[in-house]
Amino acid sequence: MTAFPSERTAIVTGAVSERGIGRATADFLAERGWNIGVIDLDDAASKAVAKEIAGRHGVKAHGVGANVASEESVRAAIDELEAELPQIVALANVAGVSSPVPYLELEPAEWDRVLNINLNGVHYATRRVAETMVKHRIGRIVNISSVSAQRGGGTFSKTPYSVAKAGVIGLTRATARELGEYDITVNAISPGPIDTDIMGGTLSEERKDELVKDLVVNRVGSTRDIAAAIHFLISEDAGYISGQTLNVDGGLYMH
């Protein structure tokens, strides 16, 4: 088992939105001693969030703006984070967009937008951090898929979202297979209904009650539920888990 360096960094994409999974994850990891690299669209907001995390948790943090749909942008951002922070050991690919457009109303531009951000963006960030992780022969990558991928939608977002998130599972398995020899694990988390803005805004109590009817637990998920799962999968002790999709979904999809 390869030991982690004492000073290690986790990069979190999509970490600015206050009610999002990325922000919750960055805070959760920092609280547990991880240095944090923040990537989001807005450079100033990314730097502000990083400064706040560093101040609150006493870790090193650096933020940089990037469009995950652009490989050049992602590579430049991760280059900057690598220069500013301790060794990159983990990557949480959280950045994503929703897409509630019905299939018969779907325009090519919407298909491309959703696939570029939700699938290509995961590939671009993974491809760049893999170079660093291979060099150090240690790494943990966690990608956010969705129960939509496994159930063919049935959530707020529809077809291109489900397709992209299914692609994330395929990407997770294939990269786990290719990167395993370098002591790098790659896993996916498949959230069920989580109370974030990607569900179309804050969930009303009525909507929560409706969603809970499909679950085996008595509540919809929180961003902390996902952050805790990410924290487990990037931990030193999770080195024997790779290529897996962990459903954190209140029992919505059992397989």
Q: Is the CB of residue 79 less than 8 Å from the CB of residue 71?
A: no
Distance from C-alpha of 142 to C-alpha of 147, rounded to nearest angstrom: 16
Distance from C-alpha of 57 to C-alpha of 98, rounded to nearest angstrom: 31
Contacts of 101 (CB under 8 A, 6+ apart): 107, 110, 158, 160
Active site residue 161: yes
- Over its C-alpha atoms, the chain yields an Rg (Å, rounded) of 17
Contacts of 164 (CB under 8 A, 6+ apart): 114, 115, 117, 118, 119
Q: Nearest CA to 121 among 232, 3, 14?
A: 14
Among 103, 124, 161, 182, the one annotated catalytic: 161
DSSP 170-238: HHHHHHHHHHGGGTEEEEEEEE-SBSSGGGTSSPPHHHHHHHHTTSSSSS-B-HHHHHHHHHHHTSGGG
Active site (catalytic) residues: 161
